[in-house]
Structure 1
Amino acid sequence: MARTPQDSDNAGLVARSRQGDNAAPLSITEISGLLKRTVEDRFGHVRLRGELSGVKRAASGHLYCCLKDDKAVLDGVMWRGNTSRIPFVPEDGLEVIASGKLTTYAGRSKYQIVIDSLELAGEGALLALLEKTRARLATEGLFAPERKQALPFLPRTIGVVTSPTGSVIRDILHRLADRFPSHVVVWPVLVQGQGAAEQVSAAIRGLDALAPGGPVARPDLLIVARGGGSIEDLWSFNEEAVVRAIAECSIPVISAVGHETDTTLADFAADRRAPTPTAAAEIAVPVQRDLALTLADFAARKRRAVYRPVELGHERLEARARRMPGPEQLLQAKAQRLDEAAERLRRGLFDRAGRGRERLVGIAARLHPGILQRGHGEAQRRLDGARLVPGLIERPLRDAGGRLAALARVAEQLHPEKPLARGYAIVRSPSGEALTRKVRAAKEAALSLQFADGTLEVAPGAAGGAKRRSSAPGSQAKAQRQDDLFG
C-alpha cells in the first residue's frame, strides 16, 4: 500500500508533538499500572469455576495453579495467609470454585486471579476427591485388614474424642453407664469447620502418648465420635491427618462418625466402625448384667460338672444295691441248711440212742452172775500165781534216797542263812528286801540286820548311834550302844 503525502508528513525520524495533540506517550510501567487498576476496579470480586491444573506450593507457602475449562486457561495465585483455610488438599483435576479478584502481572504481561477462597464445585467433585484420597491411602496399606487390632473385652479406661457440648458425648456416657460403668477420658475437639481435623488428629496422638500409670489414665480403647451431617460437615474425618493418626494409633480405635449411611475415611482406618455413637458405646463394653448371668451360668455348669459324677456314682451304687441280695436272702440258704442239719442231728441222736439201747438190752440179756463169778475167779488165780520180789521195789527206793540226800547237802550249803553262823549278817530294807549296795542302804530310813541269833533294827543316818531291838530269844531288855555301820 502506497503512503500518502499526509502520512509522510505525520511520520518522521524523530517523534514530535503536534499541535492540538494531548496524548502524551506513556511508559510501559504506566500503562501496566493503568491496566492493573482498570482490571481490579472492574473485576474486584469474581467467582470462577474451573479445573485445577499445575498446582504447586512454593517454599514461601504461596499456592500457584491454573484454572481452565475446555477453551481457556487462567493463572491463579493464593497467598500463604489464605492457603491454611483451604478445607481440602488442592490437586490437579479437581473442579473448584475460586473466589477472589482479577489483577495483572506486569512482569509477564499476564492477567491472573488472586484467590481468597477455594471450594469444591459441588458434591460430585467432593466425592471424586474423597475417592481419590481413599485410593491413594489404600495403596499405602492404611486400610489393610491385617493392621486392625482386636478390641479389649472389658476396657478399664475409655478415651473419647468428640465435642464436649454436643449430644454425642451424653449418649456415649449414658450408654456406658447403662451397660458397664467405666472410667472415661474425654478430649474435647472441634468436629466441624476450620481446624477440626488438626484438633482431632492431635487428640488421638495425645491419648496414644499417655504413659501407663501416669496422672491421667491411659485409655485401653478410643472412640472417635461425631453426630450426623452432610458430607461437608463430616469432611474433617476424611482429612489425611485424621486418617493417619487413627491408623498409627497403638490403642484400638472405634470410629463412630455420622449415622448408619454416613461413611468417612476414618471408618476405613479405624479398627472397628460403629453406625452411631451410641452403638460405639455398646461395642466398647459388654452388658454387666449379662456378664453376671453368664458367670452364674458358668458357676452352675461347673457345679453340675463336679456333682454329676457323684450323682452318677450314687445312681450306679443304688442300682447295684438294689440288685444285691439282702441279709435275709443271704441267710435263707444257710438257715435252711442249719434247719436240715439240726433235723438230721436230732434223728441221728434218736437213732444212736435207739441203737445203744438195743445194744444195752442185748448185752444186759447176756449178763448173769455166773459170768461175773467166772471172771473174778480167773483174776484171783492170776493174782495168786504172780510172784512179788522185794528187791524190785527196794532198789529204786535206795537210788531215790541217795539222790535226795545229795540234794539236801547241797541245799544246806546254799542256804542264805548258813554264813550267819560264821559271823556274817544280812542287811534288809524295811520291806524285807536284801540290800547289797551301800548307796542303796544309805537311802533307807531304817535297816534290819539279820544275825545267826536274831534281827537287829538300826537307823543308818543317826549321828549318836541308833536304838536296836533284838528279836532273838533271851535278848537283854536294856538297849546297848552300837557304832554306825556306815559312818
Structure 2
Amino acid sequence: MTEATHNQPDFSVSTLAAALKSTVESAFGLVRVRGEISQPKVVSSGHCYLRLKDDKAVLEAVIWRGALARLSVRPEEGLEVVATGRLTTYGARSQYQMIVEALEVAGEGALLKLLEERKRKLAAEGLFAAERKKPIPALPEVIGVVTSPTGAVIRDILHRLRDRFPRRVLVWPVRVQGEEAAGEIAAAIAGFAALPPGGAIPRPDLLIVARGGGSLEDLWAFNEEIVVRAAAACPIPLISAVGHETDTTLIDYAADLRAPTPTGAAEMAVPVRLDLIARVGELGARLPRALISATESRARQLEATCRGLPRPERLLAEATQRLDDRAERLGLGLANRLSRAGERLDALGLRLRTPREVADRAALRLSTANQTLATAFARRLDAAQNRLERQAALLDTLSYRRILDRGFALARAADGTPLTRAAAVAPGSALTLAFADGDVHATADGAKRPAAKPGKTDPRQGSLL
C-alpha cells in the first residue's frame, strides 16, 4: 500500500453539491437582477421556468406556483424586468439558478411597450369594440363602486352623488395598487355581476371603478388582462374613473364609459336633482299652453276643411238620381234577360229528338251491328275449318300407315313397343306384324342374326320409320 502524499479530504459528488448550494444560498440570500425574459414556460405543475439574459450572460430562473399567482407582472418573452429573489443551485444538472419571488418592469419605457402590445392583443379580440358598449341608465337606483375604502376617491364620489341626486351606493373595498390589486378588482367586478336581482343585497344598476391619480406603475393594476377582461364581460354598465384626465389605462377602453376623474364619474352617473325638478316644472307649465295651442290649431284646421267640403244636399241629390236610374235599368234588364232565356230554351227544345226517334236509331244501329257480327263470325269459322282440313291432310300424309300401304310391315314386341333393330328380338319371343290390311301374330325362331353392316345396306332402301 502506498502512503497518501496529502491530507486533503475526499468529497462525494452529493456532498460537494450540498456544500456549494449552502454557500451560494448564504452569500446570495436576496438579490435583484435586471435582465430580459427569455423562453418563459409554465409546466403542468403550475411552476414557471425562464431565463434572464443580457448581452453577455444567461441566468436560469424559476418562479414557483404560489409566487407566480402573486406577481403583478406576468412573465412574457422579451420583457425587460427586475427580478427579486435568491440564488441556489440544482445539483442534478450542476447549474445555479434564481428563485424569483417578485417581478417588476424595468423602466417606464418597457412598461409602455408592454402596455401597447397588450392593448393590440385585447383590441384584436374585440374587447374594445364600440358595439359591445352598453348604455348608461339615466337614473340608477343602486350604484356599485369598486375602489379603496380609505382614500379620498370614495368620499368625493359620495359627496358629489349627495349634491346631485342621492342614490344608494354599495362599496366593494379593494386594493388599487400593488401585486394583489388586479385580482381583487377583477373579483369585485365579477362579484357585483353575480348578485341576483331582487336578492338581499340589491344588484347595482351601474358600476364605477375608481382610483386617484398616480404614476404608470401605480395605475398598472388597471392595465392587467384579468381586470380588462372582467370589465368587458360585466353585464352591468360600467364607468371607468382611473387617475386624472390625462391618465389612460386599458380598463378605460373596455368600460362602457370613461370618466376623466372619479368626481366626473359621479356626475355622469346621476343628473342634478334640482335641474330635473326645474325641468319638470318648466315642462308642466308648458303643457297647458301646448294643449290650448294644439286645440286651437286643430279647430282652425277643421274649419278650413269644412269650408272646402261640398254641401251634403248636393251629394245626396246626385246619389239619389243615380239610385233611381239604376232601379229603372234593373227592371228593364230583368225583363230582357227573361225573354232571352225563353228564346234559348225554345231553340234547345227544337234541337231535342223524341224518344221514338232515339229508339229507332238505336234499333237500326243494333241490327247493323248484329249483321256485321254474323258475317265476321262465319268468315272466321270458314277460315278455321280450312286450316283444320289442311292440317289433317298433312298429318295423314305423314302417317306410318301410308308406308304400310307401300308393302312394308311394322314389327312390335308383345307389349306393343315398335322393334327397329334385329338385335332387339330374342329367339322365341312373341311378335306382332302390322300390315296395311291388318295385324299378324308371329314367333321369332332361330339364333340371333348379326346386325347388318351399314356399308352393305342398299342405299335405295329407306327406313320403315
Matched, 1:136 2:121: yes
Q: How does 1:156-167 map to 2 (within 5 A)?
A: 156-167=141-152
Q: Which amino acid aligns with 1:300?
A: A
For residues 209 and 165 of structure 2, the distance between their equivalents in structure 1, rounded to whole angstroms, comes to 19
TM-score normalised according to structure 2 size: 0.61
For residues 162 and 174 of structure 1, the distance between their equivalents in structure 2, rounded to whole angstroms, comes to 15
1:176 to 139, 161, 168: 161
CA deviation string 1:362-419 (max 9, x = no partner): xxxxxxxxxxxxxxxxxxxxxxxxxxxxxxxxxxxxxxxxxxxxxxxxxxxxxxxxxx
What's the offset of the Cα at 1:310?
6.2
> What corresponds to 2:367 in structure 1?
none
For residues 51 and 297 of structure 1, the distance between their equivalents in structure 2, rounded to whole angstroms, comes to 66
For residues 39 and 314 of structure 1, the distance between their equivalents in structure 2, rounded to whole angstroms, comes to 101
2:199 to 214, 223, 229: 214
Q: Which amino acid aligns with 2:151?
A: G
> What corresponds to 1:256 in structure 2?
241
1:86 to 71, 74, 77: 71
What's the offset of the Cα at 1:116?
2.6
What's the offset of the Cα at 1:46?
2.5
> What corresponds to 1:101 in structure 2?
86
The 10-residue stretch of structure 1 (219-228 or 305-314) with the greater mean CA deviation from structure 2: 305-314
For residues 299 and 229 of structure 2, the distance between their equivalents in structure 1, rounded to whole angstroms, comes to 65
Question: 2:164–2:273: 8 Å Cα contact kept in structure 1?
Answer: yes
Question: Secondary structure of 1:229's partner?
Answer: coil
Q: How does 1:335-350 map to 2 (within 5 A)?
A: none
For residues 94 and 106 of structure 1, the distance between their equivalents in structure 2, rounded to whole angstroms, comes to 29
Q: Which amino acid aligns with 2:200?
A: P
Unaligned ranges ≥5, structure 1: 1-15, 317-487
> What corresponds to 1:202 in structure 2?
187
Question: Secondary structure of 2:92's partner?
Answer: coil
What's the offset of the Cα at 1:282?
0.4
Question: Secondary structure of 1:296's partner?
Answer: helix
Q: How does 1:238-253 map to 2 (within 5 A)?
A: 238-253=223-238
For residues 80 and 6 of structure 2, the distance between their equivalents in structure 1, rounded to whole angstroms, comes to 51
Change (3 A) 1:269 1:17: farther
For residues 280 and 192 of structure 2, the distance between their equivalents in structure 1, rounded to whole angstroms, comes to 33
What's the offset of the Cα at 1:36?
2.7
CA deviation string 1:129-176 (max 9, x = no partner): 222222211111111111001111111211111122221111111111
Number of equivalences: 301
> What corresponds to 2:269 in structure 1?
284
Question: Secondary structure of 1:97's partner?
Answer: strand
> What corresponds to 2:251 in structure 1?
266
For residues 292 and 250 of structure 2, the distance between their equivalents in structure 1, rounded to whole angstroms, comes to 55
Give the number of the structure with larger relative contact order, counting CA–CA contacts within 8 Å between residues 6 or more apart.
Answer: 2
> What corresponds to 2:328 in structure 1?
none
For residues 175 and 99 of structure 2, the distance between their equivalents in structure 1, rounded to whole angstroms, comes to 30
Q: Percent identity among equivalent residues?
A: 60
What's the offset of the Cα at 1:29?
2.2
> What corresponds to 1:358 in structure 2?
none
Change (3 A) 1:256 1:38: same
Q: Which amino acid aligns with 2:102?
A: S
What's the offset of the Cα at 1:314?
11
What's the offset of the Cα at 1:281?
0.6
CA deviation string 1:88-144 (max 9, x = no partner): 111111101112232222211222222232221122222222222222111111111
Q: Which amino acid aligns with 1:66?
A: R
Question: Secondary structure of 2:185's partner?
Answer: helix
What's the offset of the Cα at 1:66?
0.3
Q: Which amino acid aligns with 2:49?
A: Y
For residues 176 and 18 of structure 2, the distance between their equivalents in structure 1, rounded to whole angstroms, comes to 46
Question: Secondary structure of 1:33's partner?
Answer: helix
Question: Secondary structure of 1:187's partner?
Answer: strand
Question: Secondary structure of 1:230's partner?
Answer: coil
Question: 2:72–2:182: 8 Å Cα contact kept in structure 1?
Answer: no
What's the offset of the Cα at 1:86?
1.2
For residues 303 and 67 of structure 1, the distance between their equivalents in structure 2, rounded to whole angstroms, comes to 78
For residues 313 and 70 of structure 1, the distance between their equivalents in structure 2, rounded to whole angstroms, comes to 88
> What corresponds to 2:210 in structure 1?
225
TM-score normalised according to structure 1 size: 0.58
Q: How does 1:296-335 map to 2 (within 5 A)?
A: 296-308=281-293
Unaligned ranges ≥5, structure 2: 302-465
Change (3 A) 1:44 1:165: closer
> What corresponds to 1:76 in structure 2?
61
Matched, 1:49 2:28: no
Q: Which amino acid aligns with 1:69?
A: D
Structure of larger gyration radius: 1
